[in-house]
Amino acid sequence: MSLTLADARIATPEGVHDGWLTIEDGRITHVGHGPAPRTGHSLAGRLVVPGFVDIHNHGGAGGSFPTGEQDKARDAVALHERHGTTTMVASLVTGSVEDIASATSSLADLCDDGILAGIHFEGPYISKARCGAHDPKLLRRPDPEEFGGLVKAGRGHVRMLTIAAELPGALDTIRTAAAEGVIAALGHSDATYEQTIAGIDAGARVATHLYNALPPLGHRTPGPIAALLEDERVTIELINDGVHVHPAMLRLAYTVAGPERTVLITDAMAATGMGDGTYVLGSMEVSVKDGVARLVEGGSIAGSTLTMDVAFRRAVQQVGLSLAEAVEVSSLTPARVLGLDDTIGSIAVGKAADLVVMNDSLEVAGVMRRGAWITEP
Ligand SMILES: [Zn+2]
């Protein structure tokens, strides 16, 4: 079965052009310029970008990945799919080792089914001083052996670990992660500049939501933010909801790291796609007001209610990225972080037909995943 999408504006890594594309068996088989050589489904001049890749996401539609409940997790994935996310990593939060292990083995089933692209442990090996919405009572000292056991529970699907480099045992745990094929990400950390570099030297390659849950940049105390930004080995995550990071600070980070080292994430939690109200993130109670999630106790920001389409649109309209740059930081670079850029992350022949159709105001008009419409434009 072959499908031609005609009269489209297509965003490829080379730029945006008027053209058409053909899809067969879930893959892109042709990308052409100008009018399509055969009749097809006309997109009436609308923009087509690659499906978004979200490497840091705790849930949505009332479902929270840290609970490990499969039906709820499917609801969350479906919600984000409708907003253009075609590849997603499920992020857990700090919990007891038993709870993390059981959520992990449950979510591993959804990874087996191709619904999730992996599991991310955010915690429990993070700083008490920078724990944000994580339960301080459940934080643990990094332990490579304990971590190895949690990785086993995921049957090959644990893809990322957020850890604070300054904690005793952290560097060994980062080395274990690297050896197990798990991406070590530095975050929720009170480390100095030097301690952060030691974490990168041990194998850490991602900065978990840069700026958030880290000591601020200081001209005599550069801290982790400067170390992570300037190191070419590190890709930085940014939550582009206008609440977590000011657009000017986002531009600053982007100017240093560039499109190859910057990824937009949602850090979305259960309330995403739902109304204001009271929700739970791990063991913590969260109140959502005007779309902003905060801990009931203490008021820390507790994840977001962001979706990738909004992060993408804000990148163009508020931050000032070009369409091509916004595509790169929402799809190709996160795909590369996961080691999946051979098969997803851009509109190119041979890659999966993961597509988002957008109207002129960059709102989602249609979503295709692996060649099947989730929403038909
Ligand atoms: Zn998070």
CA distance 364 to 352: 19
CA distance 156 to 162: 17
Ranges under pLDDT 50 in the chain: none
Ligand 1 centroid from CA 168, angstroms: 22
Ligand 1 centroid from CA 295, angstroms: 13
N- to C-terminal Cα distance for the chain? 19
Looking at residue 363, what is its pLDDT? 98
Looking at residue 39, what is its pLDDT? 85
Other beta carbons less than 10 A from residue 363's beta carbon: 10
Looking at residue 37, what is its pLDDT? 86
Structure letter (DSSP) for residue 339? T
Cβ 201 vs Cβ 230: under 8 Å: no
The phi, psi pair for 8, rounded to 5°, reads -115, 160
Structure tokens, 169: 């045992």
Ligand 1 centroid from CA 275, angstroms: 20
Ligand 1 centroid from CA 67, angstroms: 14
Ligand 1 centroid from CA 3, angstroms: 38
Q: Where are the beta strands (DSSP E) in 167-272?
A: 183-186, 206-207, 235-239, 262-265
Ligand 1 centroid from CA 132, angstroms: 10
Looking at residue 109, what is its pLDDT? 98
The enclosing H or E element of 311 equals helix 308-314
At which residue do the structure tokens 């890594």 appear?
Answer: 13
In whole angstroms, how far apart are CA 351 and each of 12, 84, 237? 12, 17, 24
Of 99, 135, 231, 267, the active-site residue reads 267
Q: Where are the beta strands (DSSP E) in 153-276?
A: 158-163, 183-186, 206-207, 235-239, 262-265
Ligand 1 centroid from CA 47, angstroms: 30
Cβ 325 vs Cβ 314: under 8 Å: no
Looking at residue 142, what is its pLDDT? 98
CA distance 164 to 35: 53
Cβ 12 vs Cβ 355: under 8 Å: no
Looking at residue 38, what is its pLDDT? 83
Cβ 27 vs Cβ 371: under 8 Å: yes
Ligand 1 centroid from CA 91, angstroms: 7
Ligand 1 centroid from CA 17, angstroms: 36
Looking at residue 177, what is its pLDDT? 98
Cβ 194 vs Cβ 131: under 8 Å: no
Strand, helix or coil for residue 213:
coil
Cβ 190 vs Cβ 129: under 8 Å: yes
Structure tokens, 300: 């820390």
Looking at residue 77, what is its pLDDT? 98
Catalytic residue at 267? yes
> The whole model's pTM is what?
0.97
In whole angstroms, how far apart are CA 158 and each of 4, 78, 116, 149? 36, 21, 11, 11
Ligand 1 centroid from CA 267, angstroms: 5
Structure tokens, 228: 């992570």
In whole angstroms, how far apart are CA 88 and each of 155, 221, 235, 244, 335? 18, 35, 17, 20, 10
